[in-house]
């Protein structure tokens, strides 16, 4: 049983801290060499091979004592392992710093000669200056580079999410396995509040790592017991949480990598390890999240940066606010240094002259002037919330300016009422449904027409992406709030998740994120778990899938567990639905939003199509859905309504010969089936047997989708009358757009490809 003792770990780190190099790099982290790592493993309760250290500047007496100790490490195999020790030497084998030595017939003098030979080899390679000493270690019998024999197990502190444990195939072929499996050779586990049962399940279900803990043709007995491997993961999890940027310890273990730990007698023994240690801690800057309420539902507002003559962003925002329903027009103000009024709205020369403290201040002045405006608003306590529109801060290299603004806001948050909260900068603004619009786009270009979606909160780091979504889904989905949060200089993505968790009626929170602020990823996970517990569905698209750069790698871990892989694993562990593409993201938003009132009773799906290729394609895209077996009553009804040539079992291929009534009656039978939990109802609509086009006044055809008997009318009536989730597929061109829009305006998700429908419905059932 492995027991991680946090007190022992703290005491050990304190004991070695004085001996660590004082010229730490700018990151503030220093590397531990292998002997120091062995001491840390012992404090953590992890097995490591017995070893003795010989300093580089050893005396003859020290050398003799060490050589005798080294010979005493030999077991029945009569072998020991010699290694160079140096905190800056990362890959010892590559530079000749590792040798497996047979001691048969050797004396202590012979062992020291081997050390001298290693020193010469290191000198030839230009590595001698990095040598701090040498170690002799016991040889632990194992088959190197053999699956199931060597394990990589590591801890890394992700800048956003905090401690994560990475488990993978170890040894010198670690990175080869990573490339060969396209990054699927590892298991990434977020350490905070990690559950042993979750770890065990994840290991057992992993296609490679389960070889470690399961009998196989290669291993009649599992190389390592599952409980023991879980214990090691939990030990690293606990030390990473305790000695992390948000932990109780004064230290921060930035990274631990054990590679390899070898399997012997059902347990693991660490043979090699590297680590980084610092005193880094996350800032605990708390924001008054309650002020997001006046931010989204203001009754009063002021705008800074309005042009009296031209149509600049500030002027467009003012015009949009003049047309808002939520803001009292008598409580709308402009701050302008010389005008009396602009567009009929009164102007005031300074913030302090505005007649009242406003719920909202929109700042649309250039970046260099934003600091003065924000400083005045905070100092004069004239706003509950602010939106900073312009860019030109950290993203443009103006880190000092951005930091100055953040410092002003932080001082405001320390005041009794918490000061104002701020969205931005470098953001498009906010559209709060039925309240206001601060997008600096005229309504004739982006109208935000009425539509469904009051149950959706859409929070996006990119304003442009919000624009594309709003335009593409105009009249179909109009979210409760569309929030462009930009640089997160104050309010962050996790703040908005926290807010909407407590908003009645919002049950879908969609998040487009390019990057989390330091530590805010961990807070996002915490808030997402609370949202899920409250019955909310959190969907995220995380942009940026580049692997972590080598500058943070003391080892193989970073190349195997890059930033995106860590983010995805952490998010999924918190119950967040992660989209891998923008198409999938929008499919999920549409499905989750429109089907929010449809409870998921199970994963048995009923499918119908009039095209054989769709029936074949969908079978490869079920992603956890299971084909329902129709009950006898349903099967009998299908036999009655479908033509004799139709394929009647699930998925139903009714062929293009099936007419509107038979197709619709079949859809109804599927949804009414006791064995069906959800449905995918698809048709290629070009067949003349289906009534699905708008009326043609030139007399080319007699179809009319507005009729109660048309295909879209029948499907709307059938689907909206059912309590079960259902999606419609219309795989054809633009002349069928009216049919699609008619169905979606009724609150039913429509897809133009059946595979996308299947993936979206599977995600809805999993969430």
Boundaries of every domain in the chain: 6-138, 150-278, 367-594, 604-766
Q: What superfamily does domain 604-766 belong to in CATH?
A: Succinyl-CoA synthetase domains (3.40.50.261)
Model pLDDT, residue 171:
80
Q: Answer yes or no: is pLDDT of 362 > 90.
A: yes
CATH class of 367-594: alpha beta
Alpha-carbon Rg for the chain, nearest whole angstrom, is 32
Q: In the predicted model, what is the mean pLDDT of the chain?
A: 92
The CB density around residue 23, as the number of other CB atoms within 10 Å, is: 5
Return the minimum-mean-pLDDT range out of 181-185, 621-625, 644-648: 181-185
Model pLDDT, residue 391:
81
User: 539 versus 87: which is more confidently predicted?
Assistant: 539
Model pLDDT, residue 394:
66
Estimate the crossing angle of helix 226-242 against helix 6-17, to 10 degrees. 60
Return the minimum-mean-pLDDT range out of 16-20, 139-143, 691-695: 16-20
Q: Answer yes or no: is pLDDT of 218 > 80.
A: yes
Model pLDDT, residue 697:
81
Per residue in 82-129, pLDDT tens? 999 998 887 888 899 999 999 999 999 999 999 999 999 999 889 889
Q: With bands split at pLDDT 50, 70 and 90, how would you rate the model's confidence at 554?
A: very low
Return the minimum-mean-pLDDT range out of 15-24, 216-225, 252-261, 430-439: 15-24
- CA 440, distance to chain mean position in Å, is 30
What is the rounded distance in angstroms from the CA atom of residue 668 to the CA atom of residue 539?
30
Q: Answer yes or no: is pLDDT of 20 > 80.
A: no
Q: With bands split at pLDDT 50, 70 and 90, how would you rate the model's confidence at 550?
A: very low
Model pLDDT, residue 745:
96
Q: Can you say whether the dihedral through the CA atoms of 81, 86, 92, 94 is positive or negative?
A: negative
What is the rounded distance in angstroms from the CA atom of residue 94 to the CA atom of residue 172?
10
Mean pLDDT calculated for residue range 601-623: 95
- Nearby residues of 607 by Cβ (< 8 Å), 6 or more positions away: 615, 618, 627, 650, 651, 652, 670, 679, 680, 681, 682
Mean pLDDT calculated for residue range 346-350: 96
Q: Answer yes or no: is pLDDT of 556 > 60.
A: no
Model pLDDT, residue 565:
86
Phi, psi dihedrals of residue 138, rounded to the nearest 5°: -65, 145
Model pLDDT, residue 561:
43
- CA 35, distance to chain mean position in Å, is 36
Q: With bands split at pLDDT 50, 70 and 90, how would you rate the model's confidence at 225?
A: very high
Q: With bands split at pLDDT 50, 70 and 90, how would you rate the model's confidence at 344?
A: very high
Q: How many CA atoms lie within 13 A of 63 on its CB side?
A: 15
Q: Answer yes or no: is pLDDT of 463 > 90.
A: yes
Q: With bands split at pLDDT 50, 70 and 90, how would you rate the model's confidence at 555?
A: very low
Model pLDDT, residue 177:
76
What is the rounded distance in angstroms from the CA atom of residue 543 to the CA atom of residue 228?
37
- Nearby residues of 153 by Cβ (< 8 Å), 6 or more positions away: 165, 166, 167, 168, 170, 232, 233, 236, 258, 259, 261, 268
Mean pLDDT calculated for residue range 595-602: 93
Q: Answer yes or no: is pLDDT of 558 > 60.
A: no
What percent of the chain is predicted at pLDDT more than 70?
96
Return the minimum-mean-pLDDT range out of 385-394, 445-454, 666-675: 385-394
Q: Answer yes or no: is pLDDT of 548 > 70.
A: no
Same CATH fold assignment for domains 150-278 and 367-594: no
CATH number listed for the domain at residues 150-278: 3.30.470.20
Q: Answer yes or no: is pLDDT of 27 > 60.
A: no
Per residue in 564-577, pLDDT tens? 888 999 999 999 99
- CA 682, distance to chain mean position in Å, is 32
What percent of the chain is predicted at pLDDT more than 90?
80
What is the rounded distance in angstroms from the CA atom of residue 306 to the CA atom of residue 431?
19
Q: Answer yes or no: is pLDDT of 552 > 70.
A: no
Per residue in 662-706, pLDDT tens? 999 999 999 999 999 999 999 999 999 999 999 998 888 999 999
Q: Answer yes or no: is pLDDT of 155 > 70.
A: yes
């Amino acid at each position: 049983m492995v027991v991680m003792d946090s007190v022992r770990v703290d005491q050990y780190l304190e004991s070695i801290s004085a001996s660590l190099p004082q010229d730490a790099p700018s990151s503030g982290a220093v590397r531990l060499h292998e002997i120091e790592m062995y001491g840390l493993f012992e404090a953590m309760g992890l097995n490591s091979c017995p070893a003795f250290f010989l300093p580089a500047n050893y005396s003859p007496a020290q050398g003799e004592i060490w050589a005798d100790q080294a010979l005493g490490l030999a077991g029945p195999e009569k072998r020991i392992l010699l290694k160079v020790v140096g905190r800056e030497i990362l890959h010892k084998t590559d530079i000749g710093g590792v040798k497996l030595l047979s001691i048969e017939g050797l004396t202590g003098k012979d062992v020291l000669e081997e050390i001298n030979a290693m020193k010469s080899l290191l000198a030839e390679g230009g590595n001698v200056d990095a040598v701090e000493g040498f170690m002799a270690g016991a040889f632990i019998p194992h088959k190197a580079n053999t699956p199931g024999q060597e394990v990589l197990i590591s801890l890394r502190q992700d800048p956003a999410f905090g401690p994560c444990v990475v488990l993978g195939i170890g040894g010198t072929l670690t990175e080869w396995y990573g490339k060969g499996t396209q990054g699927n050779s590892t298991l990434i586990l977020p350490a905070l509040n990690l559950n042993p049962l979750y770890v065990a399940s994840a290991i057992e279900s992993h296609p490679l790592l389960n070889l470690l803990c399961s009998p196989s043709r290669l291993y009649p007995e599992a190389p390592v017991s599952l409980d023991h491997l879980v214990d090691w993961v939990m030990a690293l999890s606990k030390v990473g949480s305790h000695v992390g940027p948000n932990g109780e310890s004064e230290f921060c273990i930035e990274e631990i990598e054990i590679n390899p730990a070898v399997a012997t007698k059902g347990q693991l023994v660490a043979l090699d390890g590297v680590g980084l240690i610092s005193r880094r801690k996350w800032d605990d800057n708390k924001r008054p999240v309650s002020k997001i309420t006046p931010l989204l539902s203001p009754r009063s507002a002021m705008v800074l940066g309005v042009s009296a003559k031209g149509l600049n962003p500030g002027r467009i925002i003012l015009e949009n606010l003049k047309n808002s329903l939520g803001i009292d027009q008598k409580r709308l103000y402009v701050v302008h240094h010389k005008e009396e009024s602009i567009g009929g709205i009164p102007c005031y020369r300074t913030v302090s002259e505005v007649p009242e403290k406003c719920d909202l201040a929109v700042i649309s002045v250039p970046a260099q002037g934003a600091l003065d405006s924000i400083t005045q608003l905070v100092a004069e306590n004239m706003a509950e919330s602010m939106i900073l529109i312009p860019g030109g801060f950290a993203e443009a290299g103006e880190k000092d300016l951005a930091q100055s603004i953040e410092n002003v806001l932080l001082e405001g948050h320390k005041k009794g009422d918490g000061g104002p909260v701020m969205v931005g900068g470098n953001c498009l603004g906010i559209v709060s449904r039925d309240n206001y619009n601060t997008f600096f786009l005229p309504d004739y270009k982006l109208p935000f027409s009425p539509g469904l979606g009051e149950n959706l909160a859409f929070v996006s780091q990119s304003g442009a992406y919000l624009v594309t979504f709003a335009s593409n889904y105009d009249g179909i989905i109009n979210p409760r709030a569309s929030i462009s949060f930009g640089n997160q200089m104050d309010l962050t993505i996790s703040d908005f998740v926290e807010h909407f968790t407590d908003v009645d009626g919002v049950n879908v929170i969609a998040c487009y994120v390019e990057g989390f602020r330091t530590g805010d990823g961990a807070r996002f996970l915490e808030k997402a778990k609370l949202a899920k517990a409250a019955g909310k569905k959190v969907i995220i698209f995380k942009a940026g899938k580049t692997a972590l750069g080598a500058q943070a790698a003391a080892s193989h871990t970073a190349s195997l567990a890059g930033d995106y892989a860590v983010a995805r694993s952490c998010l999924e562990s918190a119950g967040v639905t992660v989209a891998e593409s923008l198409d999938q993201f929008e499919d999920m938003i549409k499905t989750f939003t429109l089907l929010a009132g449809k409870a998921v009773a199970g994963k048995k799906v009923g499918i119908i199509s009039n095209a054989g290729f769709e029936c074949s394609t969908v079978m490869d895209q079920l992603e956890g859905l299971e084909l329902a077996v129709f009950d006898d009553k349903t099967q009998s009804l299908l036999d009655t309504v479908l033509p004799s040539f139709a394929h009647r079992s699930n998925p139903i291929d009714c062929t293009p010969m099936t007419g509107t009534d038979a197709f619709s009656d079949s859809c109804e039978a599927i949804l009414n089936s006791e064995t069906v939990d959800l449905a995918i109802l698809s048709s290629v609509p070009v067949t003349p047997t289906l009534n699905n086009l708008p009326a043609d006044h030139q007399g080319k055809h007699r179809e009319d989708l507005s009729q109660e008997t048309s295909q879209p009318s029948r499907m709307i009536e059938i689907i909206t009358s059912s309590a079960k989730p259902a999606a419609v597929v219309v795989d054809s061109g633009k002349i069928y757009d009216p049919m699609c829009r008619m169905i979606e305006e009724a609150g039913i998700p429509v897809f133009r490809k059946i595979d996308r429908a299947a993936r979206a419905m599977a995600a809805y059932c999993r969430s």
